[in-house]
Amino acid sequence: MYVNLPLASLGAGFLLLGHAAAAAASLPGAVRLATRSGPVSDSDPGSVSASSPLSTPAPTPEVEHPMIEYIDDSNLTALADPFMPPAIDGVIKLPSFRPEGVRFAAGMSSRAVPRDSISFNLVAPKLRPVEPGDRMFDPYRMMGQVRRRNDKGEVIYCTGSLVGTRLFLTARHCVPPEPRSKTLEFVPGYDGSRKATDPPLPWPFGRPFRATTCYGIHTNDPVASGAAVISARDYVVCVLDEPIGVDAGYLSTIAAEPNPQAREKVYTSRAWWSTGYPGNMEDGKVLIQAEGVRVGRVHVTGGGFNRIETPPYPDYGWSGGPLFGVNQENEEVEIIGVVSSYLTASSASGSSFVSALHMGGPKLTRLIVWARCTWPGKPDECPVTPSP
């Protein structure tokens, strides 16, 4: 899965344009993780080059994409700021929603991650299927499979998570680029391991719901291959045709304002989780969890856009899956980014390392809060009511 790209210093590629359900791909089940040492800072040269070759064709120019409506940076700020809750100690947070009577899954905790500020070792996260008894509990019930068909009729799937009553978050490269294919579906609580004789899951779980449109942020480089990864904007918020989050619930998001102290507090002080439907585990039919994901670096590509680098763990089908933590004070699950792509680079000593890239930052939070307040499904979904 992790391919060393033919660059002298750096390469990047889409991890996971999505896994084709019809293809019986043989993918590695484990990755030997390289150790990376050195300073961790925003000046670290491990940024993504616009000339990096990618493992997927160049995306359709933004203006021609059939499903995504793009918002300019400045326009998004003007649209979202009236609804933004105030930042606390440099941290922006949107609330989550858990329906009454829904339990929080056992065994989830937020663990502090001691880290030397000069050097550190990236430790491979532990992967395991989410237990069947936990799949209908918070936060797993708010996650699901994202499906589309390409122009050949093949089913391609990724991962997504509910961030509003009628909103799900996923990677931008998971949205169908083919003009003849505008169908994009989200299946909350998808569990392909269930037998036909099993009792059906309660509504809305296990059922496909159609996305009517998706919203992303302009890359300002619409033709360049991989522009969304390069600019840390490989995410979209999609609007569903039904407010299923009223019954399923939805997740919180957090982001650090652009200052080093806030980034350290939010991203590198604890371990994280991620969930997805990778094709190399359980044939992509069961939600898989990565435990103990450590953030090695947060690269700021501009005002409000972050590429979050962790040890590699995802495989095809995990694209769009949330990278999240748990606030132990209130058992609230907080998303900091979505799985996007992978990065390979060479150190000064000539050794290479491989990392998973996630996209997040304050602009992602602004996109979600604007969407929540534009398509609310419950009275308190919009966190702030603007003054008249």
DSSP single-letter state for residue 31: -
Q: Tell me the sheet residues that pair with 341.
A: 14, 357
Q: Where are the domains of the chain?
A: 10-20+32-374
Phi, psi (deg, nearest 5) at residue 290: -100, 125
pLDDT (tens digit, 0 to 9) for every residue of the chain, 388 residues total?
222 222 223 345 555 456 665 432 222 222 222 222 222 233 333 333 322 222 333 334 455 567 889 999 889 999 999 999 998 888 899 999 999 999 999 877 555 444 443 334 567 789 999 999 899 999 999 999 999 877 777 888 999 999 999 999 999 999 877 665 568 999 999 999 999 899 999 999 999 999 989 999 988 776 666 788 888 999 999 999 999 999 999 999 999 877 777 777 788 878 899 999 999 999 999 999 999 898 988 888 877 899 999 998 988 899 999 999 988 778 889 999 999 998 876 666 665 668 899 999 999 999 999 999 999 988 889 987 765 5
Distance CA 258, CA 44 (A): 16
Helix (H) or strand (E) holding 260: helix 260-267
Q: What is the dihedral of CA 42, 45, 51, 52, to 10 degrees?
A: -100
Q: Tell me the sheet residues that pair with 76.
A: none
Strands (DSSP E) found in the chain: 10-14, 19-20, 68-71, 91-94, 126-129, 143-149, 155-164, 167-170, 184-188, 209-217, 236-240, 252-256, 272-276, 288-293, 297-302, 305-310, 322-327, 332-346, 352-360
Name the CATH code of domain 10-20+32-374 (choices 2.40.10.120, 3.30.2010.10, 1.20.5.510, 3.30.1330.10): 2.40.10.120
Phi, psi (deg, nearest 5) at residue 363: -70, -35
Contact of 320 with 160, CB cutoff 8 Å:
yes
Helix (H) or strand (E) holding 39: none
Rounded to the nearest 10 degrees, the angle between the axes of helix 73-80 and helix 362-374 is 50
Contact of 357 with 324, CB cutoff 8 Å:
no
Cis peptide leading into residue 379 (ω within 30°): no
